[in-house]
Structure 1
Amino acid sequence: MAEDICHNITTVSNRIQKACQRAGRNPDEVQLIAVSKLKPLEDIKRAFKCGQLHFGENRAKELQDKMADYEEESLQWHMVGNLQTNKIKYMVDRVNWIHSIEKKKYLREIEKRASRIDRIINTLIQINISGEDQKSGCTAEDVPDILEYAQGLKHVRVRGLMGMATYVGPDEAEQVRPQFQQLREIRDQLRTYEADSVQLDELSMGMTNDMEVAIEEGATMVRVGRAIFGERNY
């Protein structure tokens, strides 16, 4: 199993490199986030031994438990799933990135909690680029107000945008290219709001089936679960 995870990480890394070559990009510009949703902590430890440093979780309780049970300092934890205000207090002492900000109240709570322990939390604003009701995220029109609020924060950094495209099969990824294009264009338009705690360098978009297209459209973070850890047992 450990060998499988190492092999999978290498395979995904090769996919990232090839996509970057096609796009004329440096592979170092793209961070692989291994999403271990519903997978045991032992799988994370195996992946870490293979050189993987960035790990994402979709559920706050699972993230909380794994962070508490694995205190490896060089590991970077990412919250990539739906956020709830009352869960933030359980993650601020260890989480490094929160991708799913869609309201000012989340930034307010992170600032309050992080200020008490003098930590700085990196965040991304999630935009609903698929237009699907079941997907989280704000609209592009909501973002300027959020960014203006974020500019004055001391313990929160807004580093970019996150989006989840419509789910497609591995042979249908081209269908969601316009959604990734849209997120990049929104980010570029919002650059005028960069100041102090707002620096919009990051685009978190692309998963197992569509990450190549996302990278070609400017992704700096790809969130990959199944291609690394295998199918999940729901």
Structure 2
Amino acid sequence: MIAEKLNTIKSNLPQNVTLIAVSKTKPEEDIMEAYRAGHRDFGENKVQEMTAKYENLPKDIRWHMIGHVQRNKVKYMAPFVHMIHGVDSLKLLKEIEKQAKKQDRVINCLLQIHIAREESKFGLDEEELKELLASEAFSQMKYVHIKGLMGMATFTDKQEVVQSEFSYLKQLFESLKKDQESWPHLSMEVLSMGMSGDYELAVECGSTMVRIGSSIFGERNYQ
């Protein structure tokens, strides 16, 4: 069932769009079903849960940290995480740099931009983004590589609201892409936006990475 849903979604996505199967709260056997269907990119929103799954599951899985990251948890995922999606401050980026250096590996990151009208969502605004990129600390980093931007749209049925938020993020992404030579470890390759409820619209607006959970694995169990 999981494999079937996964393959249906994948077959309808353009080739340039990467699907992150969001496996948070889901058991390892569900992940293995998707894995046996050929899928390798999985997303978790809790470091502890992701680390436990990493220990037990095949080592060629690419783990994506898609949730809000606390700085004191970075060290646990630094040895293996493939990409951290929710980088929303220079302080967090400095911690990732520090822990990546200890592991002697470069960690791919996305800068999370606040595009939603909800205050509860995390992310940098445009001003904070520019400050981060212009900072001396960022210019000296060697162990983090910013691969693009991530954003979460407002949770609403109003398509025009979601579309305008996605379009804004795409515009910001393109303007950074034009100037990316200015920053040595910035390469605008990934625009991560779109989840189960709005990924089709996100793809229309230029997303290159979608994070889909319930449409693949069914509703989450938060017990």
What is residue 87 of structure 2 aligned with on the other side? 101
* One-letter amino acid of the counterpart of residue 115, structure 1: K
Deviations along 1:17-48, one digit per CA (max 9) or x if unpaired, are: xxxxxxxxxx2210000001111111111111
Deviations along 1:133-182, one digit per CA (max 9) or x if unpaired, are: 1111111111122223434321100011000011245xx54541111001
Paired residues for 1:53-132 under 5 Å? 53-70=40-57, 72-132=58-118
CA shift, 1:118, in A, is 1.0
What is residue 8 of structure 2 aligned with on the other side? 11
Deviations along 1:81-133, one digit per CA (max 9) or x if unpaired, are: 01110000010001010000011111111111111121111000001101311
CA distance in 1, matches of 2:106, 2:39: 22
What is residue 227 of structure 1 aligned with on the other side? 215
What is the DSSP-based 3-state SS (H/G/I as helix, E as strand, rest coil) of the residue aligned with 1:56?
strand
* One-letter amino acid of the counterpart of residue 128, structure 1: H
What is residue 31 of structure 2 aligned with on the other side? 44
CA distance in 2, matches of 1:31, 1:64: 22
What is residue 125 of structure 2 aligned with on the other side? 139
Residues 97 and 123, structure 1, Cα contact 8 Å, conserved in 2: yes
CA distance in 2, matches of 1:151, 1:12: 39
Indicate the larger mover: 213-222 or 149-158: 149-158
CA shift, 1:202, in A, is 0.9
CA shift, 1:10, in A, is 1.2
CA distance in 2, matches of 1:216, 1:62: 32
- Work out whether 1:158 is the aligned partner of 2:134: no
Q: 1:51 to 1:123 in 2, by over 3 A?
A: same
CA distance in 1, matches of 2:61, 2:9: 19
Q: How many residues align structurally?
A: 218
Paired residues for 1:191-202 under 5 Å? 191=177, 192-194=179-181, 195-202=183-190
* One-letter amino acid of the counterpart of residue 11, structure 1: T
- Work out whether 1:185 is the aligned partner of 2:171: yes
- Work out whether 1:34 is the aligned partner of 2:21: yes
CA distance in 1, matches of 2:82, 2:3: 24
What is the DSSP-based 3-state SS (H/G/I as helix, E as strand, rest coil) of the residue aligned with 2:117?
coil
| Structure 1 vs Structure 2 CA RMSD | 1.4
TM-score by length of 1: 0.88
CA distance in 1, matches of 2:160, 2:196: 14
Q: 1:63 to 1:230 in 2, by over 3 A?
A: same
TM-score by length of 2: 0.93
CA distance in 1, matches of 2:200, 2:87: 25
Gap runs ≥5 in structure 2: none
Residues 150 and 156, structure 1, Cα contact 8 Å, conserved in 2: no
